[in-house]
A = this chain, B = another copy of it.
Amino acid sequence: MPAGELRYPSPPNSSVTETPPDEDEVWAQIKAEAKRDAESEPALASYLYSTILSHSSLERSLSFHLGNKLCSSTLLSTLLYDLFLNTFSSDPALRAAAVADLRAARVRDPACVSFSHCLLNYKGFLACQAHRVAHKLWTESRRPLALALHSRISDVFAVDIHPAAKIGKGILFDHATGVVIGETAVIGNNVSILHHVTLGGTGKACGDRHPKIGDGVLIGAGATILGNVKIGEGAKIGAGSVVLIDVPERTTAVGNPARLVGGKEKPARNEECPGESMDHTSFISEWSDYII
C-alpha cells in the first residue's frame, strides 16, 4: 500500500454499508424503468434496448454503454467493450461500487428520477465507473492503457481523474463537468463532489502531493483543494472555496482563502454526513461577513 494512502474509518451508521446494495435488485429496477420508458417513448426505445434492455446484466449494459461512449476512431468500441466487460466480470467490488454510486445518485440528487437515468445520462457516474477500470489497470501495471482510458474520459466527459487516484464507493459526482483529481488523491466513501472541483497538486515536486478526502465529505461547486491536505470525515467545503490546508472533521470551510464557519477555535459542527445530505447552503446564516 503506497505511503500516500489514507483510510478513514467508515461512518458507523452508513446505510449503504449496512444494507449492502443488491446488484440484481438494482438491475431489475433499471430494466423495469427502461421498459416503461421504451413503451411510452418509441423514439427512445431503440436507444433503451441497445443500452439496457438487450443486456442480461448490469455489467454488460455498463460495458456496452461505456464502450460506445468512450470509443474513438483509433480506440474501437469493441476493444473497450471487451476491456470493460472483462474487468467488471472479474471484479465484484467494481460492480458493488457501481451499484453504491447508483444508489447515491438516486438518494442524494433530487433531479435523479431513476436508476436508469443515472446509468445512461450521468457523466459523473460514467466517468467514475470508467475511472475504476483505469485504476485497476494502473494497479496491475498496465499504465499506458490506463492513461489512454484516462484521456478518453477527460475528452468525452470533461472529467479528469488520474488513474492512480483512489476513490471509495457511494460517490456522487454531480454534474461533473470540469472535475480534476490528481495522481495521489484519495477519496473516501459516501462523498459528494460537485462540478468544477479540483483536488490538485502543489507544483512539480513528485510524491504524495494531492488531497485526502474523508468519508461523507461534501465539496461544493468550483471548490479548489490543493496539496497533500486532509479534509476530515464529514467536512463540508463551500462552493468556490480555495483550500490549501487541512480541514477538521465535521467542520465547514468556505471562501477564498477558506475559513472555518464558526471560527478556527470553535467551529460549527456539521450534521453526520453532508456527503449524503448534500446541504450546500444552510451555513449561510453563520457566515458572518456575508453581506449582500
CA distance A156 to B121 in the complex (A): 12
A147 and B117: CB pair below 8 A?
Answer: yes
Q: Are B198 and A221 in contact (CB under 8 A)?
A: yes
Q: Are B54 and A49 in contact (CB under 8 A)?
A: no
Of A3-11, A14-22, A69-77, A89-97, the segment with at least 4 beta carbons within 8 Å of chain B is A69-77
> Any chain B CB within 8 A of the CB of A226?
yes
Residue of B nearest to A283 (CB): B244
Whether A46 and B44, one on each chain, are in contact in the complex, defined by CB atoms closer than 8 angstroms, is no
The reply to whether A292 and B264 contact each other, CB–CB distance below 8 Å, is yes
Residue A187, interface by CB 8 Å = no
Closest to A221 in B: B198
Choice from B68, B162, B257 contacting A287 with Cβ under 8 Å: B257
Q: Tell yes or no: A26 within 8 A of B by CB.
A: no
Closest chain-B Cβ to A78's Cβ sits at a distance in Å of 5
Once the chains are docked, how many angstroms separate the CA of A225 from the CA of B68? 35
Residues on B with C-beta less than 8 A from A109 are: 204
Instruction: Verify B68–A292 contact, CB threshold 8 A.
Output: no
Q: With contacts A158-B177, A183-B111 known, is A202 near B279, CB below 8 A?
A: yes
Contact of B78 with A245 in the complex, beta carbons under 8 Å: no
* A54–B79 touching, CB < 8 Å: yes
Report Cα–Cα, A26/B94, bound state, in Å: 36
A190 on the B face (CB < 8 A) = no
Evaluate contact between A74 and B50: CB separation under 8 angstroms: yes
Chain A 53-97 per-residue mask, 1 if CB under 8 angstroms from chain B, else 0: 110000010001101110111111111011100000000000000
Do B145 and A121 touch across chains, with their CB atoms under 8 A apart? no
Count A-side interface residues using an 8 Å CB cutoff. 117
Given pairs A64-B82, A158-B178, 18 additional interface contacts (CB within 8 A):
A42-B53, A71-B73, A158-B177, A178-B195, A196-B222, A198-B221, A198-B222, A198-B239, A200-B221, A200-B280, A222-B224, A226-B239, A226-B280, A243-B292, A255-B256, A257-B287, A257-B289, A258-B290
- Contact of A244 (CB < 8 Å), options: B45, B222, B277, B284: B284
A255-276 CB mask vs B (1 if < 8 Å, else 0) is 1111110001000000000001
Query: Is A171 an interface residue, CB under 8 A from the partner?
Result: no
Is the Cβ of A155 less than 8 Å from the Cβ of B123? Answer: yes
Within 8 A of B (CB), among A105-155: 107-111, 113, 117, 120-123, 142-145, 147-148, 150-151, 154-155
Chain B neighbourhood of A201, CB < 8 A: 110-111, 280
Residue of B nearest to A240 (CB): B242
Nearest B residue (CB) for A192: B204
Q: Are A180 and B203 interface neighbours, CB within 8 A? A: no
B residues less than 8 Å from A122 (CB atoms): 151
Query: Is residue A247 within 8 Å, beta carbon to beta carbon, of the partner chain?
Result: yes
